Structure 1
Amino acid sequence: MSAVETETVTSVPQTRAAPLIVHVVRQFLPNRGGLEDVVANLARQTIKHGYRVRVITLDSLFTTRDDKLLAREVIDGIEVVRISWSGSSRYPIAPQVFRHLGDASLIHVHAIDFFFDALALGRFLHGKPMIATTHGAFFHTRKYAAIKKVWFQTLTRMSARAYKRIVGCSVSDLEQFRKISPRTSIVIENGVDIGKFADGASQKQRRRLVTIGRFSVNKRLDHLLDVMVALKGRDAAWHLDIVGTESDLNRSDLERKIENKSLRESVTLHISPDNDKTREIISNASIFASASEYEGFGLVALEAMSAGLLPVLNANEAYTALANRHDLITLADFTSPQAAADAIEAAYRRLSFEGNALRQALLDAARGYSWDVVAERYIDLYKSLEIGAATKT
């Protein structure tokens, strides 16, 4: 699937009498990423609970800004409305969002950006109850840290007052937002599409790693490539598959890094593969690795566990929180290539010793994050704000 193709498209209408939840998010399908997957899965589950759902998003992908997408579309039963925008991808300006809120029962804003601030400022114009899910806010990198801190303590603090609830998608997000909105901040951790890659990892242990995610600077693919140099020096059989969509880094950036480290035969780059292709890649791997220095929750690690991949993760805050719950996860310092290589080789040996029992434990752990469970928490939140629902379909 290319970057501009959608998944399943259906014209099945939603029940017009049902309450309407309007999700507002800067990027959505056909773009692929953690944020997009969360909104799509929550929207699908919300429809099953008898609500109507509309997603308002931008009319182009950040990676192909000049290629305009359809202004309106129905994807998996979700009404998608796309609006024009200007400015930076970090803070896209899109005031047309106010044109599509009139029939909303509730506005659900995803991430902390222009939409979060503008809809808060314009709450007296649209008059709709609102909640927001944080998705890591804007702290994915340390870049401009001082400015971000001031922004958070001023504009974000002021905007947060307009929301009935601020939903942290991780404990770390909850702790952060309790500093500015202690009475309205709660936590509902992200769900995982455990069926997407279910039990898809190699049945036979292999010295093959896979990493999945947007090609952003904070994912520290440079560190992961350094680890591959260390692993290759120990055993030439080690191989890494890098799976994701272009972002801060593009194909040329990564190909150049791979070439410079003499890893052409040891690393394969996969740009925007669809789920079937990604599952095929996973079927040849045994270990999931991530050198990311920041994650809002660690969704992709849980998706990897649902496939039966054993995770070796950089010890950032979100991954540390996950590892504290699941001793299946190995934490490592990916700024030290040799130490991270040691951790990966230890994980490989663990696969040898524990075999099928370890694989089953990974699958069982991932099931606790099923969207069926997580969506119920959001539905309970909607109802607590007196947003009713039609009879379940």
Structure 2
Amino acid sequence: MNATGFPVAAELPQGTRIVHVVRQFLPNRGGLEDVVSNLCKAQLRLGLRPSVVTLNRLFVEPDRLLPAREVIDGIPVTRIPFRGSSRYPLAPSVFAHLRDADIVHVHAIDFFFDALALGRLVHGKKLVATTHGGFFHSGDYASLKELWFRSVTRLSARAYRGLAACSAADAVRFQAIAGERVMLIENGVDIAKFAGAASPVPRRRLVSIGRFSKNKRPDRLIATMQDLASRDPDWHLDLVGVASDWTGPALRAAIAKAGMERHVSLHLGLGDDEVRRLLGQASLFVSASEFEGFGLVLIEALSAGLVPVVQPNAAFSGLASELPAVRLADFSRPEAAADAITAAFEALRVAGGLDPDVARQISHYSWDDVARRYLALYTR
């Protein structure tokens, strides 16, 4: 047994076939896609045989049909058709792609989570799932979501041998319907990807990275920039991500309406090398997100040497309690957020850089460590 109270990873045979089922995967870019990709790569290094079953169209490019089969970074990927909403895409052909699985690992709480639970007597596979924040990413339809969670999700969860909660908030929520089958496994982070990328000298330049979904509130970042730019014209924000609820044209229109074209730059669909180049010009990371399943991008920002100033949602607040470098600010009040950003910059300027102890503090988020915690869950 290990420190978690579960059997050690060595009890899981080499070559065990793990089929990850997730609604969106590469080439789409986002937190969910990065988590599944990095977990699969870590599992390959541990001698397992992970593969992915996902949908054959990206929600941001619904008319583009992706290859039915592909190998990405050594990970076999199978893509299947779907119909219906991106919130709950219906893809019943998933059952045809589970035959070789020893364990089926479902990511997020959606059609796949419910359908594979309902069909467990048909496919007969051992099921585990990762919560990824459930479907509580915004306050929309809160009463309906809670009713669904307490009824349909509770019933579906009975079919799962284990649930990995990727944040402390998720653990509390899902323990209410699944009890001891819930295990806290915070997401891993590729802390080498942007390591040390931040500007070597403090600069009044901010970067925000993430999918432009409704809950991320890029509009509040733009409003905060109005206040900052009125104080000092050197302030600049790079908004980096992929279109979602906020499209590229909508964001550009919001930037123009605020008169922030000189102070806010929009970057869509950048690769890691291009993102690293932008980080080299910045000193602070900002996020006005009202909800995060974990806060992966905040850890990436710290690994780069950026000081995070972020909205106090549950995930970010939890990380701030563990990581003193994280600063919280209420971006619903642009002036207060601008005050917090200014204070963070001045502290960074006086210190000459981020506390070098941060690297040690975030080291336990490495994917190899997280993959071993998943092995403990699997070997239950």
Q: TM-score, normalised by structure 2?
A: 0.95
Runs of 4 or more, structure 1, over 6 Å off, are none
Q: Share of identical aligned residues, percent?
A: 53
Matches of 2:45 and 2:180, distance apart in 1: 30
Structure 2: which amino acid aligns with 1:161? R
2:306 counterpart (298, 302, 309) = 309
Query: Within 5 A, what are the aligned runs for 1:168-179?
Result: 168-179=165-176
One-letter code of the match for 1:54? S
- CA distance in structure 2 between the partners assigned to 1:347 and 1:364 by the alignment: 21
Alignment equivalent of 1:377, drawn from 366, 373, 380: 373
Does residue 239 in structure 1 map to residue 236 in structure 2?
yes
The residue number in structure 2 matching 1:183 is 180
Separation in 2, partners of 1:209, 1:364: 24
Cross-structure match for 2:193: 196
Deviations 1:142-184 (A, max 9, x none): 0111110100001000000000011100000000001111121
TM-fit CA distance, 1:260? 0.3
- 1:1-393 aligned within 5 A: 18-356=15-353, 358-384=354-380
Give, in angstroms, the shift of residue 359 of structure 1.
4.3
In the TM superposition, what is the alpha-carbon distance from 1:380 to its structure 2 partner?
2.1
Alpha-carbon deviations, 1:235-290, whole Å to 9, x = none? Answer: 00000000000111110010000000000000000001000000001110000000
Report SS of the residue matched to 1:158: helix
Judge conservation of contact 1:306–1:367 (CA < 8 Å) in 2. Answer: no
User: Aligned AA for 1:382?
Assistant: Y
Structure 1: gaps (5+ residues): 1-16, 385-393
| Matched-pair contact (CA < 8 Å) for 2:183–2:377 | no
CA distance in 1, matches of 2:376, 2:46: 11
User: Is the 2:201–2:352 Cα contact (8 Å) retained in structure 1?
Assistant: no
Give the whole-Å Cα distance in 2 for the aligned partners of 1:184 and 1:371: 22
Cα distance between partner residues in 2 of 1:180 and 1:276: 42
| d(CA) in 2 for partners of 1:121, 1:359 | 50
Number of residue pairs matched? 368
TM superposition shift of 1:350: 1.1
Q: Distance in 1 between matches of 2:211 and 2:358?
A: 24
TM-score by length of 1: 0.92
Q: RMSD value over aligned CA atoms?
A: 1.1
Q: Which runs of 5+ in 2 are unaligned?
A: 1-13
